[in-house]
Amino acid sequence: MSGNLPDKIHFVTEGAPFASTPMICKLHPFRHMNLLALIISIIALILALSKWIYDFQKGNVVSKSRVGLRSESQVKIQLLANQTNCFITRGGFTLFLLSLRIYNESDQRPVTIEECTLSIKNGRRWQEIEPYETPQAAIFPGLMRHNMPITIEPSETQDFYEVFQLYELISGTRIRIKLRCLEKNGEIFEGEDELYHRTDERPVFDILFRTLGV
């Protein structure tokens, strides 16, 4: 038997004379192969697109870190336990004193922080507040506002100190805060914690930097 397939196959109806006109069916051996290749290509494209969407969404999620929780982010923000973190009342407004540490947990890539902002949960909404503006701030180089932007090398940390101001009084004795830092490449890192009210009549920067003791 020859290995070559015929180009045409003749079908003859049973019982009909052999000389009758046959029905002819042409074979297209490559048509099914092309269709199968097209289906495989579409499946591969769908899988690749799904992986890209997953990686994109994962990148957005892990770029945020929360204080006290494990995170896949390379940046972690945490209040310093043995330093001053509180809010105090001055006249008709409230000052928020922060002592914090930013960790670059990557062992390969440095992180450049361009700015950090503070929001407080005032009732049911988050409200962003501004740094405390006073001429005395100029003589304290350790304030965060004087050190931005700053680059934190791989596996290194950096401590920051800052005072923020709210132009109203807080009725409770504690408040939820959210610190948000913007990296040079556009990523945002967040840390949340609580501050407690403190009664202290000393100058605010003396309280923050513990220049006269606690």
pLDDT of residue 54: 52
| DSSP-derived secondary structure letter, 156 | -
Quote the pLDDT of residue 203.
92
Q: What is the pLDDT of residues 165-213, one digit of tens each?
A: 999 999 889 999 999 999 988 889 888 999 999 999 999 999 999 875 5
Give long-range contacts, CB 8 A cutoff, 24+ apart: 26-35. 29/5
Report residue 8 as tokens: 């045409």
pLDDT the model gives residue 40: 82
Q: Which residue has the higher pLDDT, 1 or 183?
A: 183
**Measured between alpha carbons, how far apart are the two ends of the chain, in Å?**
103
Say what the pLDDT of residue 212 is. 58
pTM above 0.75, yes or no: no
Residue entry with tokens 């610190």: 179
- Furthest-apart CA atoms within the chain: distance in Å: 119
Q: Say how far apart CA 68 and CA 76 lie, in whole Å.
A: 9
67 token code pair: 């204080």
For the beta carbon of residue 206, count every other beta carbon within 10 angstroms: 14
Contact 158, 150 (CB under 8 A): yes
pLDDT band, residue 34 (cuts 50/70/90): confident
- Cα-to-chain-centroid distance, residue 91: 38
Q: Which of 138, 118, 121, 120 is nearest to 130 (CA)?
A: 118
Q: Could you give the CA distance from residue 205 to residue 197 in angstroms, rounded to a whole number?
A: 16
Average pLDDT of the segment spanning 10-18:
48
pLDDT, tens digit, for every residue of 67-117?
Answer: 443 344 688 999 998 899 999 999 889 999 999 999 999 999 999 999 999
Per-residue confidence (pLDDT) for residue 62, from 0 to 100: 33
Domain layout of the chain by residue ranges: 8-62, 75-209
- d(CA 169, CA 153) in angstroms, rounded, equals 39
Q: What is the pLDDT of residue 70?
A: 37
CATH number of 75-209: 2.60.40.2550
pLDDT band per the 50, 70, 90 thresholds, residue 64: very low
Alpha helices by DSSP H, the chain: 31-62, 204-209
